[in-house]
Amino acid sequence: MPRVLVTPTMLHQQPGPYRDALDAGGIEVVYPPTPKLPTSEGELTALLEQCGPIDATVCSVEPYTREVLAASRIRVVARVGVGYDSVDVAGASELGILVTNTPGANRDSVAEHAIALLLAVAHGYPARDKEARSGVWQRNVLPRLAGRTIGLVGLGAIGKATALRAKALGLTVIASDVQPDAAFAAEHDVRLCPFDELIATADVVSLHLPCTPDTIDLINADVLGRMKPGSILINTARGGLVDEDALVEALRSGHLAGAGLDVFKVEPLPAESPLTELDNALLCPHMGGIDAKALSDMAQLAAESVVALHNGDWPEGRVVNAELREGWTW
């Protein structure tokens, strides 16, 4: 019987559709001894050895490097989520290991979270909450959000869902994407434009793209300097997209009015990060994609991908390194 390690802390020892799928598929479910997620290669290797032998993982953002994978007998790494930058996909492919994700399952959750961060930052949080709690009754007037322009960097499933919600708030929506969906943009009055134009035009810049070697530190000092004075940055995508030192300076100087950040370069965010000292930075512990329904749906899809591959079936649209399809076996 194949053994699958389930690592996401919110699934630890929890029942649900994902567990039902694995049980029905004849797969033994293994949980870590504690719900603590391994954050280093050494911790993950030790966990795999402790729980082993392990044939597949239904996983979170622990670091599946080539070295970790080579030291295991894993055949499938099934991410509970869309992003897979924590997995060395090239290394996995060299080793004949499939990597899967769950596209679309957390689209609405992330979009809602992006809008929640935007509304909060645009209305002066967290500073206003801190002031009210400390007895400071400072009713400073801020710009209205309706009628302003939001620029979406990335117009995939999550970007589209965010666009619809932004339109409902009365925002003008512009977007930049390497392969834009022109039909969607035309139908919903989303103006497509180059990245540089978006940065210079938008009152709010919201990130909805993966972190790749080409997009690391996409939002750097130069780009931040070209954003409109008093603009807002929202990041619910990946922390690696933003040069955090440059962002801190842009927030401290007042060039940016604020930022809503759900993701960071190092997670958990170190307590000594200068971001924690800023009243115009609203911070969240990478929760955008995991409301209750999204978590259940993503976990179920990841589990179903493992079961399908063990049975010799192919989970269409969910295998990242699909070039291994021909001739791949469990």
| Dist. CA 249–CA 255, nearest whole Å | 9
User: How many other C-beta atoms can be found within 10 angstroms of the C-beta atom of residue 127?
Assistant: 18
> Among this protein's residues, is 238 annotated catalytic?
yes
Of the residues 79, 113, 165, 286, which is catalytic? 286
Alpha helix stretches (DSSP H) within the chain? 17-24, 41-51, 66-70, 89-94, 107-122, 127-133, 157-168, 182-187, 195-201, 221-226, 244-253, 292-310
Of the residues 238, 244, 304, 318, which is catalytic? 238
233 and 219 in contact (C-beta within 8 Å)?
yes
Helix (H, G, I), strand (E, B) or coil at 197: helix
> Among this protein's residues, is 112 annotated catalytic?
no
Tokens of 203: 């009152």
| Dist. CA 286–CA 290, nearest whole Å | 9
Nearest to 37 by CA among 298, 310, 285, 318: 285
267 and 238 in contact (C-beta within 8 Å)?
no
Contacts of 298 (CB under 8 A, 6+ apart): 80, 81, 102, 105, 106, 289, 290
User: How many other C-beta atoms can be found within 10 angstroms of the C-beta atom of residue 120?
Assistant: 17
Active site residues: 238, 267, 286
